[in-house]
């Protein structure tokens, strides 16, 4: 069984590398997953399979779809950087991309009388933290869902969602730096940014792949191509959802605390390195 499993993994890697049909890749992927469940299962059941997937399958799937992840990253980070530069040079351009009421609300949150030193907005009690936790989950998941579901419009909806959010985030960041609230802003966002943006990027990657399956279905009909691709990215969707859940927890329970900025920076660097290490080094046996 171990030798057959290794052979299956090799065949899957070859099929992905050479761009064989999605139907064949999906069939091999399912066989590899079944073999892995038999060889490495801990406790039976959904929870055991989920833990096994998180332990390596998620990272392996991301590496197998790296081109879509990189494209998704470019579509959100590119507009982010461009808008940062534009509004840093021409501050009034912020009013072209964001409504004045939203700008004033953001200014008050990070630089007004209610903003506290070195981070977030207002120190909240535990009840408010849980309320905000629910809000952050809703907000994060809604963005990720639009990024994924936008693939049904041949990827155009995904591109719009990623570019729009990149522009919006870059504009807000530049605005707060311009008015001298950058320290408060970075203190609040650094802890959860890696998980939040990473989860949205992965959701965007699944949407882009979904859209491409409609544009270039290969030998399959478009409905079959869409179905096969949707099944192949199901794990990535679940993984991105877990990342966004973690981001919401950090944003609700860590980010509002008034810790010194160096501690907040260290926390942000740690989460970024943790994610990079996970996606680079774990799950190698899944794709061997």
Q: What is the pLDDT of residues 244-256, one digit of tens each?
A: 999 999 999 998 8
Residue 56 pLDDT level (bands cut at 50, 70, 90): confident
Q: Is the pLDDT of residue 190 over 90?
A: yes
Q: 30 is written with which tokens?
A: 């399912």
Residue 18 lies inside a defined structural domain of this protein: no
Residue 56 lies inside a defined structural domain of this protein: no
106: left (phi over 0), alpha (psi -120 to 50) or beta: alpha
DSSP-derived letter for residue 283 is: T
CA distance 163 to 198: 15
* Residue 72 confidence (pLDDT): 98
Residue 231 lies inside a defined structural domain of this protein: yes
Q: 283 is written with which tokens?
A: 């799950």
Residue 40 lies inside a defined structural domain of this protein: no
Stated pTM of the model = 0.82
Q: 109 is written with which tokens?
A: 């949150």
Residue 75 lies inside a defined structural domain of this protein: yes
- Number of domains forming the structure of the chain: 1
* Residue 283 confidence (pLDDT): 79
Residue 39 lies inside a defined structural domain of this protein: no
CA distance 102 to 58: 37
Residue 41 lies inside a defined structural domain of this protein: no
Residue 6 lies inside a defined structural domain of this protein: no
pLDDT, tens digit, 9 for 90 and up, residues 76-114: 999 999 999 999 999 999 999 999 999 998 888 888 655
Q: What percent of the chain clears pLDDT 90, i.e. is strictly above it?
A: 58
The per-residue DSSP string of 80-127 comes to HHHHHHHHHHSGGGHHHHS-HHHHHHHHHHHHSTT--TTSSS----HH
Q: Is the pLDDT of residue 258 over 90?
A: no
Q: What's the domain range around 80? A: 65-282
Average pLDDT, integer, range 213-226: 90
CA distance 19 to 223: 19
Q: 275 is written with which tokens?
A: 């994610």
Residue 169 pLDDT level (bands cut at 50, 70, 90): very high
* Residue 259 confidence (pLDDT): 86
* Residue 3 confidence (pLDDT): 61
* Residue 111 confidence (pLDDT): 80
Computed on alpha carbons and rounded to an integer, the radius of gyration of the chain in Å comes to: 21
Q: What percent of the chain clears pLDDT 70, i.e. is strictly above it?
A: 85
């Amino acid at each position: 069984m171990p030798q057959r499993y290794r052979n299956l993994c090799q065949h899957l890697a070859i099929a992905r590398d050479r761009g064989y049909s999605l139907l064949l890749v999906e069939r091999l992927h399912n066989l590899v997953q079944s073999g892995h469940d038999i060889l490495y299962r801990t406790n039976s059941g959904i929870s055991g399979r989920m833990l096994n997937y998180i332990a390596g399958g998620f990272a392996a799937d991301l590496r197998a779809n790296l081109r879509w992840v990189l494209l998704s990253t470019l579509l959100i980070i590119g507009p982010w950087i461009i808008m940062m530069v534009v509004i840093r040079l021409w501050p009034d351009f912020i009013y072209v991309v964001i409504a004045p009421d939203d700008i004033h609300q953001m200014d008050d949150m990070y630089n007004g009388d209610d903003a506290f030193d070195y981070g977030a907005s207002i120190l909240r009690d535990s009840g408010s933290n849980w309320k905000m936790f629910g809000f952050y989950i809703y907000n994060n998941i809604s963005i990720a869902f639009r990024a994924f579901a936008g693939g049904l419009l041949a990827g155009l909806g995904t591109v719009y969602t990623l570019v729009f959010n990149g522009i919006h985030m870059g504009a807000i960041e530049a605005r707060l730096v311009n008015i001298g609230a950058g320290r408060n802003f970075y203190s609040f966002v650094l802890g959860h940014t890696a998980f939040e943006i990473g989860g949205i990027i992965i959701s965007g990657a699944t949407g882009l792949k979904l859209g491409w399956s409609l544009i270039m279905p290969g030998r399959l009909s478009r409905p079959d191509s869409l179905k096969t691709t949707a099944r192949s990215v199901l794990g990535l969707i679940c993984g991105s959802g877990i990342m966004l859940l973690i981001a919401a927890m950090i944003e609700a329970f860590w980010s509002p605390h008034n810790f010194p900025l160096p501690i907040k920076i260290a926390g942000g660097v740690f989460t970024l390195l943790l994610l990079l290490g996970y996606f680079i080094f774990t799950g190698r046996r899944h794709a061997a």
